[in-house]
Every structure is written in structure tokens, then in C-alpha cells.
Amino acid sequence: MAGLQGRAGGEQTVDPGTSVIRVEGVRKRYGSVVAVDGISFEVARGEIFGLLGPNGAGKTTTVEMLEGLRVPDEGRLHVLGIDAVRSSAALKPRIGVALQTPSLYPRLTVDEVVGLFASFYETSRPPDEVIAVLGLGERRHALTKDLSGGQKQRLSVALALVNDPEIVFLDEPTTGMDPAARRSLWDLVKRLRGDGRTILLTTHYMEEAEELCDRVAIMDHGRILEMGTVDELVSRHFHERTVFFDTIAGVPDDALAALPGVARLRHEDGGHTLLYTADVGGTIAGLLALTEVLGDEPGDLGIRRPSLEDVFLELTGRVLRD
């Protein structure tokens, strides 16, 4: 990425077998609440790895332990070969951290905050360069308290990049951003990966995980339920297409389940019914015949391939919403 190639080193050949993050049997409790419940995973150098799940799933606690900000009750965490618990001081100059709720100096300008953070490190990128990359040039003289929510998130990412890190931790990086700003940040994350950097991000946006992540770990209630590429996760659970439509009162589930090709059905909280079918044409024809008897027809009828959201619904029994 122009202006941010530094230590990570330009267009590299990534060795997927090189593990730069290793989590083994980690648990974290807060009183009687188990926030992280015995999780294990590894992240390869140059990979974008996503922790996907709802608020309260344990994603942020996991990332904060990897950053050396929290101490696990059990288990081991190694980042860049460094024990993240015992040697966090040696780790911090080599990682970048964008927190979910960044605490910025409200009376300093964007210029001043980025310059301040750059001064904390022996090696850093020029503040002007980082500000430009994050699209904050027009707001460089604005006080941080006057920035919009999306601009504050971009500033948080700028601060995470100012020390030219080898690994970047992004905790819900696009929360509060409008669609255009979100897409812009996605492009930046992809360029960081192209420069050989490793990205670990948390998100509750399905589209974000599908767009960015080489691999995803689905978390809920402190546990990792499934892990793999999006295609792997979908193929483990689904071999059918999805027919969806607005739920119709008066049509019993057993009648829908008996339609040609239907392997299973689900009802979403938003009022949709999903039919997973190996015979799309037969399923739709049967559905139309069934609803015609009632003098009705299915609204918002459509077809799609099963997605990461279907996997999450299959694993947890609920839809992940913003």
C-alpha cells in the first residue's frame, strides 16, 4: 500500500504455515460470567482472520488478551512468538490496536493526536502520510471531539497504523460508519494484507466477514462454534439453495417441509421463511400451488445460495443483526 510498506515489506509471498498468533485453551471469567470459554485458534502471517459474533460473544475480551490488556484465567496466548501475558511490553511496539470505543483526546486536533502517538515509538510512519491514507486530510485541523462517529473510527485506525505494525487488531472497525466509509476502510484492510500485514478483526457484520476474511471463527457465549473459510463453513452445513419469502400465516410448517426438494426450513425473526432445497423449481411450484389454495401468494419471493448468515443461524438458532 502506498506509503505504508515499511517493516511488513511490500508485495510478499505469504507462507500460510507461519503462525503469528496462537491461542490455546484460553478462558476468562468476570465473577460468575464466563466471557471466554476455552477457545483455541491460530492465525497465519499475512492472513485476515475474523472473529464473528454478536455483542457479548467474547470477541473483544479475546482481542484484549492478545493485545496484553487483559490477563486470561487459563490458557496461553502467543503473538509474534511473544508470550502476550508475560512479555506484553515487548509485543506492543510491533502491533497496532484500534479499539471498539476509542478514547481520543477531545481538545487535540487530528494532526496533534496522530503526531503524539507517533512520538511514542522509536519507529513510526510520518503522521501526514497516515492521515492521508485514512482520508482525514480535510479534517486534520479539527478537534477530535468535533469528528463524526465514522471519522473517529478512521482516526482510531490511523493511530493503530502509525507505528508501522506487523499485526493490526481491529475491534468492530466500521461501527458507526456510513456505507461509503465502510467500503473505503475495507479497501484499506485489503491493502494492508497485500503489504504482508496480518489483520485480526472482530465484527458482527456478516457482509464484512464475507468480504474481508480469509478465515472466520464464529463465536457465541464465549465459545468458538465453527472455524474456516466462508466457503468451508457453508459447505459443511448446506448443499442446497435457499428459497425465501415473507412468512404466510395459515401455512403449516409440515406442509412447507413436504414440498419437493425441501431438506429443512427456518423462520427468521424479521418475518422471512427460509426453505433449503435441492429442487428449486419444484419447491417454488409447490409453494405457489399451496398458497393459491389460500387465496394468497408469497411476498418477497427469492432464491439465493446459502450464506454465512445461514451458517450462523444453523449454529445458534438466531439471526445476527446489527
SS3 for the chain is CCCCCCCCCCCCCCCCCCEEEEEEEEEEEECCEEEEEEEEEEEECCCEEEEECCCCCCHHHHHHHHCCCCCCCEEEEEECCEECCCCHHHHHHHEEEECCCCCCCCCCEHHHHHHHHHCCCCCCCCHHHHHHHCCCHHHCCCEHHHCCHHHHHHHHHHHHHCCCCCEEEEECCCCCCCHHHHHHHHHHHHHHHHCCCEEEEEECCHHHHHHHCCEEEEEECCEEEEEECHHHHHHHHCCCEEEEEECCCCCCHHHHHCCCCEEEEEECCCCEEEEEECCHHHHHHHHHHHHHHCCCCCCCCEEECCCHHHHHHHHHCCCCCC
Q: How confident is the model at residue 8 (pLDDT cuts 50, 70, 90)?
A: very low
Please state the rounded mean pLDDT for residues 262-289. Answer: 90
Mean pLDDT of the chain: 87
Among residues of the chain, what percentage have pLDDT more than 70?
92
Please state the rounded mean pLDDT for residues 40-47. Answer: 95
pLDDT value at residue 101: 66
Please state the rounded mean pLDDT for residues 21-31. Answer: 96
The whole-model pTM stands at 0.79
The 10s digit of each residue's pLDDT in 59-96 is 999 999 999 999 999 999 999 999 999 999 999 999 99
Indicate whether 34 pLDDT > 80.
Answer: yes
Indicate whether 5 pLDDT > 50.
Answer: no
Q: How confident is the model at residue 3 (pLDDT cuts 50, 70, 90)?
A: very low
The 10s digit of each residue's pLDDT in 165-221 is 999 999 988 877 788 888 888 988 998 898 889 999 999 888 999 999 999 999 999
Q: How confident is the model at residue 6 (pLDDT cuts 50, 70, 90)?
A: very low
The 10s digit of each residue's pLDDT in 141-157 is 999 999 988 888 889 98
